[in-house]
């Protein structure tokens, strides 16, 4: 993980950080970043799966021209001890520019990404296989299916119909 800034820092959430806010924050805004898209390509052996049967959670992959919507939180630097622990399974913190609020205010901040070179990265698979994997996974934080459904509902509340997430939701609901 990179060093922590001296003052309040924006953190962009695109997965469970949207709906599972278990940390204090100074400000919360709907936000977006450019050039990234969500994918259920990261393994989770500590939250939504086990070491023997990891679940699948979202990470961001580069996608030129795409916009990823989520939520940004302005946090005190002390919050990073909690967030770094929460995002420990292969995630790293990287700097980014984001648009916050309406109209969008351009701010600098960070987000967590699980890059392909981390040991828990599962990568791409046919959408039906990803859905089956999610349906069968469960870990200390609950079922992988619940993670997907909570994320889909949270994105819908933000007005974001993320095609990857919504397609998986449809496959798991039917």
CATH number of the domain within which 87 lies: 3.10.490.10
Summary mean pLDDT of the chain: 93
Burial of 29 (0-12, 13-18, 19+ CB in 10 A): middle
Which structural domain, as residue segments, surrounds residue 149?
9-173
Average pLDDT over residues 36-40: 97
Mean pLDDT of 120-149: 96
pLDDT value for 1 = 43
Nearest-Å Rg of the Cα atoms of the chain is 15
DSSP H helical ranges for 92-173: 127-136, 144-157, 163-173
87 is catalytic: yes
Residue 40 pLDDT > 80: yes
1 domain residue, yes or no: no
> pLDDT digit string (tens) for 95-118?
999 999 877 799 999 999 999 999
Mean pLDDT of 71-92: 94
Long-range contacts of 119-123 (CB under 8 A, 24+ apart): 119/90, 120/42, 120/43, 120/44, 120/45, 120/54, 120/89, 120/90, 121/41, 121/42, 121/43, 121/59, 121/90, 122/41, 122/42, 122/43, 122/54, 122/56, 123/41
Residue 122 lies in a domain: yes
Tokens of residue 142, six digits: 């609950």
Note whether residue 67 is domain-resident: yes
Determine the pLDDT at residue 174: 65
Q: Which of 52, 87, 161, 167 is catalytic?
A: 87
Residue 3 within any structural domain of the chain: no
Question: 31 near 71, Cβ under 8 Å?
Answer: yes
Say what the pLDDT of residue 101 is.
85
In a domain, 97, yes or no: yes
Domain membership of residue 104 (yes or no) is yes
Q: What is the pLDDT of residue 151?
A: 97
pLDDT exceeds 50 at position 35: yes
Residue 4 lies in a domain: no
The number of domains in the chain is 1
């Amino acid at each position: 993980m990179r060093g922590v800034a001296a003052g309040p820092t924006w953190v962009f959430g695109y997965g469970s950080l949207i709906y599972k806010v278990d940390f204090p924050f100074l400000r919360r805004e709907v936000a977006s970043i450019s050039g990234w898209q969500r994918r259920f390509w990261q393994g989770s052996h500590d939250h939504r799966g086990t070491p023997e049967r990891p679940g699948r959670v979202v990470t961001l992959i580069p996608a030129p021209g795409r916009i990823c919507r989520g939520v940004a939180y302005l946090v005190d630097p002390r919050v990073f001890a909690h967030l770094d622990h929460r995002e420990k399974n292969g995630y790293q913190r990287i700097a980014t520019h984001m648009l916050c609020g309406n109209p969008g205010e351009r701010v600098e901040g960070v987000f967590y990404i699980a890059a392909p070179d981390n040991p828990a990265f599962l990568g791409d698979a046919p959408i039906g296989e990803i859905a089956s994997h999610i349906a069968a996974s469960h870990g200390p934080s609950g079922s992988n299916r619940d993670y997907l459904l909570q994320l889909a509902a949270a994105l819908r509340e933000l007005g974001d119909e993320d095609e990857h997430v919504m397609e998986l939701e449809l496959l798991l609901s039917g």
